[in-house]
Amino acid sequence: MPQVRFNLTFSVKKWFFDRALVKGITDRTTREALAKAGALVHMVAQRSMRYVTSLAQQQGQVLAGQRTRLAGAPVSSSPGSPPNAVRPHPYIRQFLYYALDPGRASVVIGPVRLGTPVNVPALHEYGGSQILKAPQRSRRKLGSSGEIRIGGRVGMTTWAIFNCHGWVNEVTYGKLRTAAQVARANKLNEDLFGPAGASTYMATYPPRPFMGPALEQVTPELPKFWATSIRAA
């Protein structure tokens, strides 16, 4: 039975089924069956994550003449459904691998955990709360750039910003020309990132599983891979 893991590193590539190391320690029948099982779970999991385009990439496409208008920051997938794959860096979908697990003579499938304090793929799969480092508060000044509004019309100076609760906000920035604009920008900055001096905040994420459902979906298909491999052998 394939195993799902969320702590893989890029070193797992040495256990890909086309590597000489793997071919040297497995027989062809077992290797082909495990590879087919892993490939199927991998495909179903990848395809369950819908591609969406980040606001920053949309802005770049407008400037390049590839897009005529902005659609705004992509909305997160519904809790309980697989996470979205956000272009231009859909890391969870892109770095989803399957390989031989030599210790169990099985196949392991899962996303690579990148160098982040939080295991993001596992957090998507199971949900949970995390204490994160608070973003640095910025004291806005007259003549500087600052927050104009949160939400509302999306423009070329609008950015998708994670607030202190882990939610995405569309924040529009502009030059602060009056004392009233400075005061408003500082208030919006506090609304986004919390009071000055806060060092951490608690972010809560609902589960958005993608590996468990993929494995469950393909499990009835797995026995046929071994039957097919044995007949071919």
The mean pLDDT of the chain is 91
196 within 8 A of 69, measured Cβ to Cβ: no
Give the model's pLDDT for residue 228: 64
β-pair partners for 98: 109
Burial of 78 (0-12, 13-18, 19+ CB in 10 A): exposed
SS3 of 225, please?
helix
| pLDDT at residue 231 greater than cutoff 80 | no
Instruction: Tell whether 103 and 21 lie within a shared domain.
Output: yes
pTM summary value: 0.84
**Which residues, 6 or more positions from 91, have their beta carbon under 8 angstroms from its beta carbon?**
111, 114
Same domain, 45 and 109: yes
Q: What is the pLDDT of residue 71?
A: 92
Domain count, the chain: 2
Does one domain contain both 95 and 9? yes
Q: Which domain holds residue 45?
A: 3-122+209-232
Asked if residue 128 is part of any domain, the answer here is no
Evaluate whether residue 17 is within a structural domain.
yes
Q: Domain check: are 16 and 112 in the same one?
A: yes
Q: Between the CA of residue 223 and those of 9, 24, 33, 39, what are the distances in Å?
A: 28, 24, 9, 14
DSSP one-letter code for 115? S
Query: Are 83 and 100 members of one domain?
Result: yes
In this structure, are 195 and 86 located in the same domain? no
The answer to whether residue 176 sits within a structural domain is yes
